[in-house]
Amino acid sequence: MKIATPARPAALQLPEEIHPDVVHRATSRLVAHVSGRADPDGALRGHCESRVLESALALSLMTRTGAHSPARDRLLAYLRPHRQSADRLDAVLASLAVGGAAGRETGGDSALVGTLASGVLAAAPGFISVRRRLMVYAVLCVLGCPLPADAELPGGGQAPTDPLHSWAAVQQASITLILAGAMGVRNRSTEAALGTLLATDPATTVWEGYALMHLLALHALAGVPGQEETVRRGLETLLRHQRPDGGFPFVLAMDNWCTATGGLALHAAGADPALLRRMTAMLGAHQGGARLRSLSRGAPLTGGWSMSPLVAQNDVDDTSCALELLQAVDPVTHAGAVRRGVDALLAVQGADGGFPTYVAGASSEPCMTAAAVCALAPHPATAPVRDKALAFLADSQHADGSFEPGWSRSRLHSLFRVRLAACTAGQDDPRAAAMAARIEQTVRETQNTDGGWGMQPGDPSDDVSTAYGLIALCYADDPRPLGRALTWLLAQQKADGSYGGPPDMVGPRPFAYHFPLLTDIPVLLALGHVRARLADPQAVLPAVR
């Protein structure tokens, strides 16, 4: 499979107030910080922090099963302060769980449930709206809230047949049993849901390392007579993963995702080639995901990568980023893995030219499509596929230049990824050029006066969104907005070289989760893109002092 060499973009002249050495030194400090997180095998194993959603469900399950232990006390200590959270959903979840643990009547009215569901749906892609609304109903139901009048079983109570990836299938099965229990319904749909949940072996394992899904499954099974022992053992399994602060995380690990994205950022920033080779070797060893039973209803992406070696569910995002890194660092050594990864992506492209996140036949998404285009760009034979994908992206662009929410709370996330995809288009592609121009326009127009960007227009500037905005403007002709963004971003660097700010990644959409490493990585990628546009991108980074 022939791999093309990308053309080098024209050199960027930084504004006079920013000396290239300042950028190089800030980059070298962040490179040292991120590189220092790598294990000897090259893996970046980030730590997922506790989240209120999972923690509230865990406390509710302990209350429901009568479990009393020091773990419960630590969990209460974690949740109590969140009752005053500025995030309304977090505040409600924590209050309901803590109140329930104290034996108080905690159920809100159905109007509250509907209001919270509407708030969640406003931040999620439209094609998952029904599934996400019912998930909110199910979560609040097990915390003591009444079901609203529009509550229904997923799929109308019929046996599901639509293409769903395995996580969505397990989520739907959990929601089905929770809502059916509240409604007093038992039918073929609930029997099928029970079989799906038992197939995840919840008594002995946190399936796919997905703590949220494990908790939903245990709550669903807690309403089924005869499953008491499974729930008890499943809770014991979960408690082994309690965080030091007393809470519980969204997922247990994202080693492949952190390594692939971190590797791309380190490569762009000129990091140690030996480290990059270890990172690609680690990813090459974990191609194909874990050898676990897939519960997908639809043709899953096979031959790609999942977010962690614990996970069987491969996805377009991890596959695309892993492919990009292997091709950038050592395409010869990993030629077989690259070929299988490319074939895996091609197999799930939709008829509309776009790419879904997980399984063939699911809705195409702009962010996933942009990722796939960048991964396929080095392969000339994929040009017709990429042309269709770029046409899908152009058709998906909103009037204001943006795209539907992807796997980030930040509006800038999809914008920068589509902008990079547009860079792969030929000079004679006017639609891609127009799409890129509209992206650059909306990014410039929404830049805050301090030079940064927030998650949404008008929000305070944060490190991750500013990194995304900086990348989106890195290939524009006007250096002035980029200079203001770079000035703001450089000023946020901490003494140890790292960055901070609110988390942007979401899962399931639109619930944010936090891996601190996933703040450092986008900033490093942005600094790497700046480095690539400087007059001498091959210059050796100065030593950290």
Report, as residue numbers or ranges, the catalytic residues: 317
Distance CA 97, CA 120 (A): 19
Q: Cβ(68)–Cβ(232) under 8 Å?
A: no
Distance CA 33, CA 36 (A): 5
Q: Which helix (H) or strand (E) holds 180?
A: helix 166-183
- Please name the residues in contact with 172: beta carbons below 8 A apart, sequence gap of 6 or more: 131, 154, 155, 160, 164, 193
Q: Which two tokens stand for residue 118?
A: 């509407």
Q: Which two tokens stand for residue 173?
A: 């099965």
SS percent in the chain: helix, strand, coil, step 5: 55, 5, 40
Q: Which helix (H) or strand (E) holds 11?
A: none
Distance CA 332, CA 319 (A): 18
Residue keyed to tokens 């070929």: 339
Q: Which two tokens stand for residue 181?
A: 């229990």
User: Cα–Cα distances in Å, from 274 out to 123, 203, 253, 289, 414?
Assistant: 41, 42, 24, 25, 31
- Please name the residues in contact with 543: beta carbons below 8 A apart, sequence gap of 6 or more: 28
User: Cα–Cα distances in Å, from 403 out to 351, 359, 406, 528?
Assistant: 19, 21, 8, 25
Query: What angle, 0 to 180 degrees and rounded to 10, lies between the N-to-C axes of helices 255-268 and 273-285?
Result: 150
Residue keyed to tokens 């986008």: 522
Distance CA 384, CA 206 (A): 41
β-partners of residue 300 are 359
Distance CA 48, CA 511 (A): 14
Q: Cβ(453)–Cβ(469) under 8 Å?
A: yes
Q: Give the number of other CB atoms < 10 A from CB of residue 333.
A: 14
Sign of CA pseudo-dihedral 10, 442, 86, 146 = negative
β-partners of residue 282 are none
Biggest CA–CA distance in the chain, Å, is 72
Query: What angle, 0 to 180 degrees and rounded to 10, lies between the N-to-C axes of helices 255-268 and 316-329?
Result: 40
